[in-house]
Amino acid sequence: MMRRFVNSLCASRLLRRGMLAALTGCAALAMSAGAEAQEIQLTGPLAGAPAVRKLRLHRAGRIEITPSASFTLLDEYQRTIMPGLRVMYHPTDWIGFGVWGGYGIQTTTSLTDELQVKAIDDRNCSANPNDSACKLTAVNLTRGNLAQDQLGRMQWVAAPQVTVVPFRGKLALFASLFVDTDISFFVGPAVIGVQERAPCGADNDGNQLTERPCASQESFQLESRIAFAPTFGVGWNFYPTSFFGFGAEYRALPFAWNTSGFDNAGAGNDEAFPDTAVNNKDRQFRFNSMISVNLMFSLPMKVKNSD
């Protein structure tokens, strides 16, 4: 009897466990069923309508002529003010092709002015050539005008570029003054006319220039060369009228050049120490940033509107 009772009890437990497993499986299958979505058909007057109607297209199909003034940033020895001109054509409102260029005018920084007065004029090394300070700085400091004899400068820049305009809109002031605005990004190659201290002591190939040691005053003169670099940046533009706008942009021109005319490198580990020669080994990589202020004139004068 006892064995029969135990067998019936186990059979009932196994039956309940089987039913519980079946219910759990059904619940899992119900929960894992594929999701369904219902497409909502937009009807009424907004069906198929564009996001914005009668949008003023300040760039589409127009030639943009932009006089500008650019100012270099974070300069150690000389600042460059660069009057320039940009001409762009925009086949659509969001992309354009053109060229920007400018001519550089230099002004010295306070560091250069201090060096000129205290390290060059006050020492008067032309009259005291055997002074120890004059001997120690003979390779790196002219006995004449620092800016004219040895400091590097950007003479001119020409840069074809592609401009894209991903953001545009309208700004309001006190809910009464409105102006169209956009943010543009540009990129392209740049050709830069540079003046640097001419090679002395050794040329760019490492050949010794015995007739032109860097310690002689005759070695302090500038030489022109052409440098190539990428250029890119971002601009913020405003359009108060249909044919005139204004804005500002940030531009980067990263390339290596010798801004100081000093003997920076060429000897020792990784050529990281002075070698009493000035050549291309003394060029240092610089990001060369500048801010431009732009006045934009668009042709034809009448602006287009979207549908």
Q: Is residue 103 included in any domain, yes or no?
A: yes
* pLDDT value at residue 23: 54
Q: Is residue 280 included in any domain, yes or no?
A: no
Q: Is residue 114 included in any domain, yes or no?
A: yes
* pLDDT value at residue 16: 56
Find where tokens 């309940």 sit: 16
Per-residue pLDDT of the chain (307 residues; tens, 9 = 90+): 444 544 554 445 544 555 555 555 545 545 555 556 666 666 777 777 777 778 889 999 999 999 999 999 999 999 999 999 999 999 999 999 999 999 999 999 999 999 999 999 999 998 988 899 999 999 999 999 999 999 999 999 999 999 999 999 999 988 888 999 999 999 999 999 999 999 999 998 989 999 999 999 999 999 999 999 999 999 999 999 999 999 999 999 999 999 999 999 999 888 999 999 999 999 999 999 999 999 999 999 988 888 7
Task: Tell me how many domains the chain contains.
Answer: 1
* pLDDT value at residue 31: 54
Q: Is residue 41 included in any domain, yes or no?
A: no
Distance of CA 29 to the CA centre of its chain: 56
Contact 117, 145 (CB under 8 A): no
Buried b (16+ CB within 10 A) or exposed e, 35-72: eeeeeeeeeeeeeeeeeeeebbbbbbebebebebebeb
Q: Which of 168, 160, 169, 170 is nearest to 94 (CA)?
A: 168
Q: What is the CATH number of the domain that holds 100?
A: 2.40.160.20
* pLDDT value at residue 174: 86
Q: Is residue 128 included in any domain, yes or no?
A: yes
Q: What stretches of the chain show up as alpha helix (H) in DSSP? A: 2-31, 110-114, 132-136, 146-149
Q: Is residue 129 included in any domain, yes or no?
A: yes
Q: How far is CA 18 from CA 13, 21, 52, 138, in A?
A: 9, 5, 63, 99
Domain ranges, residue 150: 61-192+222-259+287-305
* pLDDT value at residue 25: 54
Q: Is residue 198 included in any domain, yes or no?
A: no
DSSP 91: S
* pLDDT value at residue 240: 94
Contact 141, 121 (CB under 8 A): no
Q: Is residue 278 included in any domain, yes or no?
A: no
Determine whether 178 is exposed, middle or buried from the number of CB atoms within 10 Å of its CB (0-12, 13-18, 19+): exposed
Prediction pTM value: 0.80
